[in-house]
Structure 1
Amino acid sequence: MTDSSVSVSNARVLDALIQFLRLPAVCARTGLSRSQVYRLEAEGKFPGRVKLGLSTSAWIESEIQAWAAARIAASRGDA
């Protein structure tokens, strides 16, 4: 197996595991408004976007889920 086939194989595994969310989905899942998402991201209190293209960016679903879980834990005094 060559290095290029290994990286292609790894990319396929990542594609199966990583789900990107665009802004409307992030807002729907978190209950935050567009401006709140951008403000929290700028303050370093929300996961950062991933640049997918020249004018396209998205958030990684697992990072959004982890952020939500941390918020739940903090609000219940678990953190």
Structure 2
Amino acid sequence: MSQLPSNGFLRLPQVLALIPVSRSAWWAGCKSGRYPKPVKLGPRTTAWRAADIAALLEKLTAEPEEK
């Protein structure tokens, strides 16, 4: 896993580089609550808290893969 900042924000391309899902699957997961909620930084700027993404990565690596 790459070095994630302990605080700060990640934009969508950075998140998708860490979590291999499509953009539409990511947004659907955010809407359903499976993935962290985004933070609006401006009218056309959306990001996710680095701590939330780090927690998600830990959760995903701890879960056994579904078959």
Q: TM-score range by the shorter chain?
A: 0.7 to 0.9
Aligned residues: 61
Query: 1:71: which partner in 2?
Result: 60
Radius of gyration: which is bigger?
1
Which residue among 40, 47, 52 is the counterpart of 2:29?
Answer: 40
Query: 1:19: which partner in 2?
Result: 8
Percent identical residues: 36
- Structure 2 alignment gaps of length 5 or more: none
Which structure is higher in strand share?
Answer: 2
In 1, Cα distance between the equivalents of 2:23 and 2:7? 22
In 2, Cα distance between the equivalents of 1:32 and 1:21? 16
After TM superposition, the score normalised by the length of structure 2 is 0.80
- Structure 1 alignment gaps of length 5 or more: 1-15
Stretches of 4+ aligned residues off by more than 4 angstroms: none
After TM superposition, the score normalised by the length of structure 1 is 0.69
In 1, Cα distance between the equivalents of 2:6 and 2:19? 21
Report the aligned-residue RMSD. 1.7
Query: 1:5: which partner in 2?
Result: none
1:18-45 Cα shifts (integer Å, max 9, x gaps): 2211111110011121111101111101
Report which structure shows greater RCO (CA 8 Å, sep ≥6): 2
